[in-house]
Structure 1
Amino acid sequence: MTTTTRFDPLAPGAVAGIRDLGDDALVVAARTLEEDYGRLVDVARLAIAAEVEHRSRRTLGGDGLAAKLGCRSGTELLERTTGATVATIRKRVRLGEKLRSRSSLTGELFPAQFPVLAAALSEGQLSQDMAAAIVDELAPTIERVNPDHLRAAETALVESASEPTTTAEELKIQAMVWRVTIDPDGVEPEEEEALARRGIRLGKAVGGLVPITGNLTPLVAGQLQRLFNAYLTPRTAPVFLPSDGDESSGAEGPVMEDDRTPDQQRHDVLGGILSAAARDPETPKVNGAAPTVLVTVTANDLNQGTGAGWVDGINAPISLRSVRQLACTGETQTVTLDATGAVIQLTSPTRGFTAQQRKAIGARDGYHCAAPGCGTPGDWCEIHHVTPHADGGPTSVDNGVLLCWHHHRTLGSSGWEIRINDGVPEFKPPPWINPDGTWIRTTKAKPRLTAALKRALKETAE
């Protein structure tokens, strides 16, 4: 890409002239507008929102800023002065408060809860959405995690956000894995609370349709998503589950006491139906195999009973206790990764990757297209031979990578390069994205992130 002048939206005619920009200049304008103006405006909005809310706090009564101006709260004051929605303002206030220095009742000043993030934001190093991804995951753990571990997580996530290929969605997944890794209470307390809120509710028919609402556990959501991928693959026309068979309920003798709510019962019935549908031989196959839910976990976590497992396609962890329980049912498949994130070797002498190899590669690549920033589900992806088969490249896990249709076909023309290093895919962006020419490891496989984070935490303790 040739050097172009940085875009100045305040220059006369700048906005009107956007349509006349060349391709290179347009891309530069998009990036520089965000880096030079958008991020700095956003951090100022966060600081103003937090300060207005602080000066309008209820303890000040009639002396509060909002009260003196005839508003019920700082949120209402900002709504009237900025024209932003209440939801937008509340998001700014919530995030701004975490980045604002605090003072005690005696006037003593304390640093912000996330000082590294606050400094990076003030320098325009990352976007507001990236900051929210970090705070939303780490803030709930502040009162119970080791402060050094929290700071290590914050620092690592800020550094990751500075990578040219990291998106806010990918950063949120990284922050989630950090939270699970540093939280001494682990996943189980949150999982127990979530179980009490599980449920399915059918509403009243309106216009010939019956609405359904509720909350699914990660496992049931994973089963549902897997079936969606099986039935809605873009390579086939939509098909539907058979609806034959009826239930009988003539149990004899004493029965176990059932203390579930009606919503919880409906949820569990749905889980049973999904399991049965996945086992049905008439259910459409996913890449040649039944739509079995995959649960990924590191060998170290599985052996020591620490950390968490991850249901493919669902960004929520499950406890190791649940992983072991699922292994007993035989209805899920556990994929174990070593400390470096490489899958136990699975090879095939044939040209095409087997269904088992696809599962192993999917576990390593996070069940999505491995291309940085791409969110295409793994079930809709193809497997690319990193070393071409025609050049002697083997059809093995260590030579395959998940790529969606688009990235597979544009790999040779987009400027991106790919390689397998220590069993893990790495991408090198084209020079216009990363002039340094460094290789970047994809970070979508949650257990692999966990292993890396634990190594980082160990280094901070030494």
Structure 2
Amino acid sequence: MVTAPSLPSTEQVLAGLREEVGTLAAELVPGTVGMRRGDALDLAERIEELGREVDRLRLVAARAVDLAAPGSVSSASVLVDQHSGDEAECAPLLISPDDGCSPFAKARDLLRDRLRISGKEARRRLRVAGVVCERITTTGEILPPLHPHLAAVSGEVDSESSAEIVRVLERASVLPGITSDVVDELERTLATHACTFDPDRVRTIGRHVVAVLDPDGAEPEETDARTRQGVHIGRLYNGLASVRLVVDAVQLEVLQTAFDAGSNPRTSTPPLFAGAEVPPAGGSGGAQGGGAGISIDDGAGRRWVCLCGARAGRVGRASPGTGHG
């Protein structure tokens, strides 16, 4: 009776691959000395192709850890870092008998601790793996990947491009008027581009797609606008301070109009400030000024004003002799 040869286990295959790669690296280092640029580029391309296949295996392994991870910690028992928004290290930990003695309950933390990768990288792997790997229902049924076109080229596309495509698809899928057919065609197009262009170009294409589908951008949440909106002045460093503005789309248009008018070298009196009465700081506004004003002489014969009150935040160049010192 002839028995079929047993196939090597996954552990044996991975151990053999690691040994061969280590041997190749040891032999390759001295062989690259004096290599011509064309040959070096061919070598780098082949190694990069191998690395993308390894990235594909990383996604498969991350998905396996995600499906096998114990239950999530209750939201009521998780401590949140107020600065970064991430879960603090002192969050309650759960230990499962089959989690390899790792004191973490979430797949992200398991990967970060065991693989010694950052939490950001662990989240990225889980996010991409969740849409390019096959899905398993609670009844054990195997479903195709959520993004089949991206899954088909996962061994040819680098991890950065995959993450960018997933981000664009998630953004497009929630836009009003965007059907599933449009998202599917968008996925097909982006997957094709990712096989041709580098991650920076794919990111540029993704931003352009989102800008075309949603030119006005997402509306800011009320709580987010209330807490972040305004003028933020940074600390003084070497005699310089930075100023950061957080505004919505309407406020941005108003400020942009004021800045463009004030910096136009062809007009000595911008239309925005023409005829405006600029009262001294703390005084009452004029008919068009609408509030207090601050006047600054830049030493070059030009006077810049900032109108407050009804015209808060509008900055421009005033006509000669206008304003108060």
TM above 0.5, one fold?
yes
Which residue of 2 is the match for residue 25 of structure 1?
39
**2:122 matched to 1:89?**
yes
**Alpha-carbon spacing, 1:59–1:217, altered in 2? closer, same or farther (3 Å):** closer
Q: 1:57–1:64: 8 Å Cα contact kept in structure 2?
A: no
Which residue of 2 is the match for residue 117 of structure 1?
150
**Alpha-carbon spacing, 1:216–1:22, altered in 2? closer, same or farther (3 Å):** farther
Looking at structure 2, the residues matched to 101 and 247 of structure 1 have their Cα atoms a distance apart, in angstroms, of 69
**2:88 matched to 1:75?**
no
Looking at structure 1, the residues matched to 312 and 40 of structure 2 have their Cα atoms a distance apart, in angstroms, of 53
Looking at structure 2, the residues matched to 113 and 247 of structure 1 have their Cα atoms a distance apart, in angstroms, of 63
Deviation at 1:213, TM superposition (A): 4.5
For residues 167-209 of structure 1, what are the alpha-carbon distances to aligned partners after superposition, in whole Å with 9 as ceiling and x for unaligned?
212212222333455x5xx444614559935433114446655
Which residue of 2 is the match for residue 43 of structure 1?
56
Q: 2:168 aligns with which of 114, 127, 137?
A: 137
Looking at structure 2, the residues matched to 116 and 13 of structure 1 have their Cα atoms a distance apart, in angstroms, of 38
Deviation at 1:71, TM superposition (A): 2.5
Which residue type is aligned with residue 150 of structure 1?
A: V
For residues 108-141 of structure 1, what are the alpha-carbon distances to aligned partners after superposition, in whole Å with 9 as ceiling and x for unaligned?
33322211101101xx322111111211111133
Structure 2 stretches of 5 or more lacking a match? 1-20, 74-93, 264-277, 291-307, 320-325
Q: 2:141 aligns with which of 86, 99, 108?
A: 108
Which residue of 1 is the match for residue 179 of structure 2?
146
3-state SS of 2:232 partner: strand
Looking at structure 2, the residues matched to 246 and 254 of structure 1 have their Cα atoms a distance apart, in angstroms, of 11
**Alpha-carbon spacing, 1:205–1:117, altered in 2? closer, same or farther (3 Å):** same
Looking at structure 1, the residues matched to 157 and 70 of structure 2 have their Cα atoms a distance apart, in angstroms, of 29
3-state SS of 2:112 partner: helix
Q: 2:161–2:202: 8 Å Cα contact kept in structure 1?
A: yes
**Alpha-carbon spacing, 1:103–1:24, altered in 2? closer, same or farther (3 Å):** same
For residues 294-324 of structure 1, what are the alpha-carbon distances to aligned partners after superposition, in whole Å with 9 as ceiling and x for unaligned?
xxxxxxxxxxxxxxxxxxxxxxxxxxxxxxx
**Alpha-carbon spacing, 1:207–1:179, altered in 2? closer, same or farther (3 Å):** closer
Which residue type is aligned with residue 150 of structure 2?
A: L
Q: 1:52–1:74: 8 Å Cα contact kept in structure 2?
A: yes
3-state SS of 1:19 partner: coil
Q: 1:199 aligns with which of 222, 230, 250?
A: 230
Tell me the C-alpha RMSD between the 2 structures.
4.3
Q: 1:75–1:90: 8 Å Cα contact kept in structure 2?
A: yes
Deviation at 1:161, TM superposition (A): 1.9
**Alpha-carbon spacing, 1:65–1:154, altered in 2? closer, same or farther (3 Å):** farther
Answer with 1 or 2: which has the greater Rg.
2
Structure 1 stretches of 5 or more lacking a match? 1-7, 231-244, 257-264, 281-462
Q: TM-score, normalised by structure 2?
A: 0.57
3-state SS of 1:200 partner: strand
Deviation at 1:9, TM superposition (A): 7.8
Which structure is richer in relative contact order (CA contacts within 8 A, separation 6 or more)? Answer: 1
3-state SS of 1:117 partner: helix
Looking at structure 1, the residues matched to 46 and 71 of structure 2 have their Cα atoms a distance apart, in angstroms, of 40
Deviation at 1:14, TM superposition (A): 0.8
Which residue of 2 is the match for residue 190 of structure 1?
218
Q: 1:117–1:155: 8 Å Cα contact kept in structure 2?
A: yes
For residues 70-92 of structure 1, what are the alpha-carbon distances to aligned partners after superposition, in whole Å with 9 as ceiling and x for unaligned?
33432232223222222222222
Looking at structure 2, the residues matched to 191 and 111 of structure 1 have their Cα atoms a distance apart, in angstroms, of 34
Q: 1:55–1:65: 8 Å Cα contact kept in structure 2?
A: no
3-state SS of 1:158 partner: helix
- Aligned counterparts, 1:434-453, within 5 A: none
Q: 2:72–2:106: 8 Å Cα contact kept in structure 1?
A: no
Which residue of 1 is the match for residue 206 of structure 2?
175
Q: 2:95–2:103: 8 Å Cα contact kept in structure 1?
A: no
Looking at structure 1, the residues matched to 199 and 140 of structure 2 have their Cα atoms a distance apart, in angstroms, of 36
Q: 1:52–1:65: 8 Å Cα contact kept in structure 2?
A: no
- Aligned counterparts, 1:41-440, within 5 A: 41-58=54-71, 63=96, 66=99, 69-121=102-154, 124-143=155-174, 145-163=178-196, 166-181=197-212, 186-188=214-216, 190-193=218-221, 196=225, 197-205=228-236, 208-213=239-244, 215=246, 248=281, 250-251=284-285, 272-273=314-315, 276=316
Q: 1:9–1:33: 8 Å Cα contact kept in structure 2?
A: no
Q: Which runs of 4+ in 1 moved over 6 A?
A: 253-256
Looking at structure 1, the residues matched to 99 and 279 of structure 2 have their Cα atoms a distance apart, in angstroms, of 62
3-state SS of 2:146 partner: coil
Deviation at 1:57, TM superposition (A): 4.6
Looking at structure 2, the residues matched to 153 and 90 of structure 1 have their Cα atoms a distance apart, in angstroms, of 24
Looking at structure 2, the residues matched to 76 and 98 of structure 1 have their Cα atoms a distance apart, in angstroms, of 20
Deviation at 1:162, TM superposition (A): 2.2
Which residue type is aligned with residue 198 of structure 2?
A: T
How many positions carry a matched residue from both structures?
Answer: 235
